[in-house]
Amino acid sequence: MDLLKLNHVSKQFGNLSVIENLNFTVPEHSVFGFIGKNGAGKTTTMKMILGFLKPSCGNIYVCDEKVTYGDTKSNRHIGYLPDVPEYYGYMKPKEYLKLCGEITGLTSSQIQKRSAELLELVGLSDVNRRIHGFSRGMKQRLGIAQALLNEPELLICDEPTSALDPMGRKEILDILSLAKNKTTIVFSTHILSDVERICDSIGVLNNGRLVLQGSLSRLKNSYRQNSISIELAHKEDVPNFHEKLRKLPLVSNIELNENSLTIHFSDLESTNMKILELIYNEKIQIIKYEVLEPSLENMFLEVVK
């Protein structure tokens, strides 16, 4: 089942076209990475999904329910974490979650149970101080707890790690990795390493258009180039090894960099075995032998160049 569907969605502000003919779906219990440069239209899309902005044309469905601007009944299915969550700073975490639970109609026992579970999940169960003294990372973690309070079927995270340091980013990604077992996540970001860590599928937005979309593993497969990187222990072995490699039938190109070589070829399986045999027969000591995977960064740069 697809939790989220966008059909031919476009958005203009006056004469400025921000989103053009956007089509994608997000299956249940998956993590969808919505990627794009700053200003690509990611936040505009998130706001249309939430019913905060009206599409110029097209339809959006959450749990098969049409999203209607100004009539956000579909938001009962959604948890939302904005890039900069706002709080009543004088409150403590449990007080804030109690207020949010009351607004969404949860009973006192539900609020108490869910708050305890979620504060444990985000690592704030022992924190009993006012929110105004929280770090940015702590506020983001509390934001995830608030977004999950009503057990949403869809969790939308808009740039949740963009302003965090490496430790804060790791904490948020760890929490989202656990949360994806219970909900479907749309993860909007421009930080590609975060996407590679937790997302199942991606959509790349460029100038308002979706220029790349699909399963991350399938896309990497389609962009795969048969290449191996080898780092030798002794620099003096490089010329002889390089000469022997050039004579292998399927090798198309070799890049040299001091004591390392990157070999490009047309068939991975047979050439890989021949290279390993060559290393063994020539008694060449190696430090690293790596079959190169296409990176999301390379794919992103290729489609938005």
Same domain, 56 and 165: yes
The residue length of the chain stands at 305
The rounded distance, in Å, linking the Cα atoms of 98 and 106 is: 9
Q: Do 205 and 252 belong to one domain?
A: no
Number of domains in the chain: 2
Do 171 and 192 belong together in one domain?
yes
Please tell me whether residues 239 and 180 are part of one structural domain.
Answer: no
Asked whether the predicted pLDDT for residue 45 surpasses 90, the reply is yes
Report the alpha-carbon angle 233-236-237, nearest 5.
65
237 & 216 share domain: no
pLDDT digits (tens, 9 = 90+) for 9-27: 999 998 999 999 999 999 9
> What confidence tier does 300 reach under pLDDT thresholds 50, 70, 90?
confident
pLDDT higher than 90, residue 50 = yes
User: What is the pLDDT, as a whole number, of residue 72?
Assistant: 79
Beta bridge partners of 106: none
Report the amino acid identity of residue 84: V
Do 47 and 191 fall within a single domain?
yes
* Residues 70 and 193 reside in one and the same domain: yes
Q: What is the CATH number of the domain that holds 238?
A: 3.30.70.980
Q: Same domain, yes or no, for 229 and 182?
A: no
Q: Do 81 and 43 form a contact (C-beta atoms < 8 A)?
A: no
For residue 27, what are the domain limits? Answer: 2-221
> Domain boundary at 221, 255, 275, which?
221
pLDDT in the model for residue 4: 95
Question: 162 or 91, which is more confident?
Answer: 91
Torsion of CA 137, 140, 144, 147, to 10 degrees: 170
pLDDT band at 152 (very low <50, low <70, confident <90, very high): very high
Residue ending a domain, choose from 199, 221, 243: 221
Tell whether the model's pLDDT for residue 126 goes beyond 80.
yes
Taking 90 as the threshold, does the pLDDT of residue 165 lie above it?
A: no
Domain identity same for 240 and 209: no
Same-domain status, 163 and 262 = no
What are the CA-CA distances from residue 63 to residues 8, 60, 96, 126, 295 (Å)? Answer: 18, 10, 28, 35, 32
**Residue 133: which pLDDT band, with cuts at 50, 70 and 90?**
very high
Res 11: pLDDT: 95
174 and 233 both lie in a single domain: no
CB count within 10 Å of CB 159 equals 21
More confident: 220 or 183: 183
Q: Please give the average per-residue pLDDT across 44-54, as a whole number.
A: 93
Has residue 224 got a pLDDT over 80? no
Q: What is the percentage of the chain residues whose pLDDT exceeds 70?
A: 100
Let me know whether 157 and 140 are in one domain.
Answer: yes
Q: Give the CATH number for residue 7.
A: 3.40.50.300
